[in-house]
Chain A
Amino acid sequence: MHKVSMTVNGRPVSGEVEGRTLLVDFLRVNLRLTGTHVGCDTSQCGACTVHMDDQPVKACSVLALDAEGADIATIEGMANADGSLSTIQQAFQDYHGLQCGFCTPGMVMAAAALLRETPRPTEAEVREYLDGNICRCTGYHNIVKAIMAASGQEVVPVAAE
């Protein structure tokens, strides 16, 4: 076993892990932060998306030990300090950007990464950025609408490509 330390949602944490322990398992099993989901485990679906040093990563494809010293943000750290939903989360609720909710943590984390890089993306940019996030309920239109709304832009009816 190896010791690993990192910052998760602003809090310093550490734990004992194996070489093969994935970041997503460290978050879910060691820290009991089960908001980050595992949808595929093959790097395809993005349900496990978290931020690592301000960049989106698939936590199922990062070794916990490779995150030594990193600054990690998960869905549990997204709400406002008073517990109310963040702008992006609220927009997902307002625009019905979720159905079963399984992909939602990853979608919200991807959206947050996008809006940090590009505060007012075009609809095409939103769709392109969500390339690595799959919604099995296929509610993409409302997810795109929610992100457009969260960026403070007008939400127009969207059509598939």
Chain B
Amino acid sequence: MYDFDFIRPASVEDAVAALATDPEAIAFSGGQTLMPAMKQRLASPSAVVSLTGIAALKGLRDEGGRLWIGAATTHAQVAREAADSYPALASLAGRIGDPSVRARGTIGGSLANNDPSACYPAAVLGSGATVVTDRREIAADDFFEGMFTTALEEGEIVTAVIFPRPARARYEKFRQPASRFPLTAAFVAQFDDGVRVAITGASEGGVFRWTEAERALTGNFAPESLDDIAPPDAEGMISDLHGSGAYRAHLVKVMTRRAVANA
């Protein structure tokens, strides 16, 4: 790992200013993605702007019935503190990686990174949540733009995520045991005005909504509603040594079904 300067501002304004003055500087939250990437020299920033010292980016609170989560809130804290307010989300957070990863890794880092196999993007897209940044609010449907790509601009930082609370929801993850990421996972959420289904770990385009399943489940929220629906096209699904595209496409349906059954 090449050396870099280290800055740990106490406010969002100072963090944004530090990123704006140096285009080679990067935001650094839990480091659970960045540390391994920097060691492999996949990232070699001139400066690291740590977000861990900014109190305004941490914690969970109720906001008019919706759940506000600060971007630098760890997976462990969400697992503990959302257990009552949004159990499906808490359960997802409690299954990310392992206890040490959950003690450092953050929701903002996971979303900004948008790994095609990450867990949180499924919850954010599946809940129709809003991503809040230092300069605007971005609807989940507009935030994820493909593998490792988001709507974030240069130097823009995620400050919070706001989740509407569904009547019922569930995340089902088929774990890839070596990496602990999902091989494929589904997040299903039932709202008064319809059902949302978000799939991660499957598509080369990253997290996506499985709209055929959404329509069927909005009609009747039951596993049988998926009986007559074909899994998504295997074309465009991730194919690697852990599973072929066809296998992942198959898992999309299996995981969605399980999520509905257990919601």
Residues of A within 8 A of B (CB): 2, 18-20, 22, 41-43, 46, 49, 52, 55-58, 60-63, 65-66, 68, 110, 113-114, 129, 131-133
Contacts and interface: CB of A to CB of B under 8 A. Distances in A.
B99 A19 contact: no
B154 interface: no
The 6 closest A-B pairs by CB, nearest first: A132-B98, A19-B6, A55-B103, A131-B98, A61-B35, A19-B4
A22 B4 CA distance: 12
A62 B31 contact: yes
A131 B100 CA distance: 10
B32 A61 contact: yes
Contacts of A132: 97-101, 180
Interface in B95-124: 97-101, 103-104
Interface of B: 1-6, 8, 28, 31-32, 35-36, 38-39, 47-48, 50, 52, 76, 97-101, 103-104, 180
Contact of A57 (B3, B36, B104): B104
Interface of A, helix, strand, loop or mixed by DSSP? mixed
B4 A20 contact: yes
Contact of B39 (A41, A46, A65, A129): A41
What does DSSP make chain B's interface, helix, strand, loop or mixed? mixed
B259 to A, nearest CB: 20
A81 B205 CA distance: 56
Contacts of A49: 100
A63 B36 contact: no
A33 to B, nearest CB: 18
A40 to B, nearest CB: 10
Contacts of B35: 22, 43, 60-63
Nearest to A110: B99
Contacts of A22: 35
11 contacts: A18-B3, A19-B4, A41-B39, A42-B36, A57-B103, A60-B35, A66-B28, A66-B50, A129-B99, A132-B99, A132-B180
Contact of A56 (B1, B28, B100): B100
A129 B4 CA distance: 34
Given A19-B48, A63-B31, A65-B6, A131 B36 contact: no
Given A19-B48, A63-B31, A63-B48, A57 B100 contact: yes
Nearest to B31: A61
B48 A55 contact: no
B3 A20 contact: yes
A65 B36 contact: no
Contacts of B2: 20
Given A19-B3, A19-B4, 10 more contacts: A43-B101, A46-B98, A52-B103, A61-B36, A62-B104, A63-B31, A65-B50, A66-B6, A113-B99, A129-B98
Among A46, A52, A56, max chain B CB count under 10 A is at: A56
